[in-house]
Structure 1
């Protein structure tokens, strides 16, 4: 049975571990390395996993998850000081390229991911790229881990992770902004703040749930947009004011910034 070690026990690591246990992983197969004693105690109490404070202890695992800030990874590699042949390194550190990881850990199997914050609720949307040293079995293992806390999209070129960042990595913030503005507009139109919030949030949930059933967004929009009706007036106003262009430009700027950060 494969064993997995998390280096870093923060919120994202805890979310992944919770999803893995819910999908069948036994806590005895999971170790979390974190220097913070309170963090270790919390993870043991919450998930029943083994914890440690020395990075070197992670080398005994078959899969090592780098769940630390990007600037800490070089120090982690130095502390590891072990032969990682045959092991899989799964990185959730934003902006750290496969080349950089190979320079630090050597020519071993590496999977680079780009999760997003809804992973904390088991609703993550994550991009995955693996290097040439990764076997089919390791690739499948990485995918199964990711799917324990949401959906996984495998990309065939590493640079496409920057596009994943623009769509799903940063995407929740776009929706949060839309929700903010709809609540604000509802209040301006006369609704009490609590009603504007409740109606906006339920509408967002309902729209996402309908779109997830399989029909295209275009078809769904057409069904609720009667010619010359209220929704039609709103949609025409959005399109006339460049709604689509604003979204596309924002996502392109996001992608470009992700590329800059990846180059260091």
Structure 2
């Protein structure tokens, strides 16, 4: 199968990351185009990746095999209604906008069509993203592969059998980087309170976070076993772990992720009207 022609509606940071990943995979610049209302954004992405950029969304859609909706959820309805008359008949639509359900997208686009909804996260900007993907019934096996390659250009992707699980992905990985940033902040602050210079505390915490994530990623055992291996009886690590657990650490994490998932559901209901 020939390389599909891909159009990005919106040329912000996430679109730029996906385009950069595709180009790094060897996708030719002439197979990719992007539209954006900002002249500065168009000039920057064209200069960086050598792709065609346009101001007019309808013109950008011409001959597109894949249309990536990379715009803010708040403007999605208006943009989709404008796109509807110009959308190529068999184009795969991929939405990376948070909180917009497939039913809403199809209603605004005016017909049933192959649609993949996905939730990437910000480490995609470094090629280290994690994305959950859901495909509706109109998506073919070949189009699933195309969507997987698209998101795989900036990290890992996993398929979901039910669209409602997008809310869980949002809670776990979509919002997840912020949880780790919060832990980094807290550990750095605690290190300073223990007497370490600020720069030293931050450097130690960042490298520890990076090393722990890599160990967990590359190990043949799960995180709980790795934790047990570094927790000596009556040692310093055990003292810290017991303090975490006494404060209800696991329950608090569960509450936090449930709050995020619930808010994701609420936003979908509000934005999809």
Q: Give the CA deviation at 1:57.
A: 1.6
Aligned counterparts of 1:31 and 1:175: Cα–Cα separation in 2? 34
1:233 partnered with 2:244: no
Q: What's the RMSD between the two structures over aligned residues?
A: 0.9
3-state DSSP class of the match of 1:159? helix
- 8 Å CA contact retained: 1:58, 1:64: no
71, 77, 89: which one aligns with 1:85: 89
Q: Note if contact 1:163-1:255 (Cα within 8 Å) is conserved in structure 2.
A: yes
Separation (CA, whole Å) in 1 of partners of 2:61 and 2:190 = 54
Q: Distance in 2 between matches of 1:59 and 1:73?
A: 16
TM-score, normalising length: structure 1: 0.98
Supply the distance in 1 between the matched residues of 2:241 and 2:47 (Cα, whole angstroms).
50
State yes or no: 1:201 paired with 2:206.
yes
Counterpart selection for 1:187 from 174, 182, 192: 192
Aligned-partner Cα distance in 2 for 1:237–1:104:
51
Instruction: Work out the CA distance in 1 between the residues paired with 2:76 and 2:256.
Output: 30
> Hey, what's the Cα distance between the residues in 1 that align with 2:72 and 2:169?
19
Match of 1:222 in 2: 228
Unpaired segments of 5 or more residues in structure 1? none
1:131 counterpart = 2:136: yes
Match of 2:72 in 1: 69
Q: Residues 1-264 of structure 1 correspond to what in structure 2 (within 5 A)?
A: 1-60=3-62, 61-80=64-83, 81-105=85-109, 106-214=111-219, 215-264=221-270
* TM-score calculated relative to the size of structure 2: 0.95
Residue deviations 1:81-114 (CA, integer Å, cap 9, x gap): 2253211000001100000011012101010000
Distance 1:27 1:13 in 2: 14
What secondary structure is seen at the aligned counterpart in 2 of 1:44?
helix
The answer as to whether partners of 1:211 and 1:217 remain within 8 angstroms in 2 is yes
Contact 1:84 1:108 in 2 (8 A): no
